[in-house]
Amino acid sequence: MGYSLSGGVALASATRMPELVETVAVSYPLTNFIKDPAEFLGKMKVPVLMMAGIADTYRDCCLIEETRQLELASKASSLSLLTLHEYAGVGHGFSLSNAPPKDQAAAADAMVRTISWLRQGLPPTTR
């Protein structure tokens, strides 16, 4: 799981190390390194939950247009491993503790979605 830059690392890990990665949950991930969404998703072997702010323009690294291209490529593939949830009116870092108060609802929703995703995607632990 990851946010921003570490979200990009988590996405890359899902394509390069599927034997070590069960599932991925990312918020406003770095996506500008992905030049061909279909090719990138073709290498993906694990399910991915991606949450993105529609108003994210931070350094042009995590633009909603890029995440939508990934979603379209996923829907076009036979596996459809990517689930995208968009948040209207929020930008980069909406889940950080210093995010604007208007982002709190999106942050709370993203946390609930992440926890649910990880519970579904990871095997139960035994003690």
Q: Is residue 126 part of a domain?
A: no
pLDDT at 83: 94
Whole domain around residue 82: which residue ranges?
A: 2-121
> What is the domain-level CATH number for residue 10?
3.40.50.1820
The pLDDT tens digits of the residues spanning 63-94 come to 999 999 999 999 998 888 999 999 999 999 99
User: Looking up tokens 């968009």, which residue turns up?
Assistant: 86
Q: Is residue 104 part of a domain?
A: yes
> What's the total number of domains in the chain?
1
pLDDT at 45: 87
24 contacts 48 by C-beta, under 8 angstroms: yes
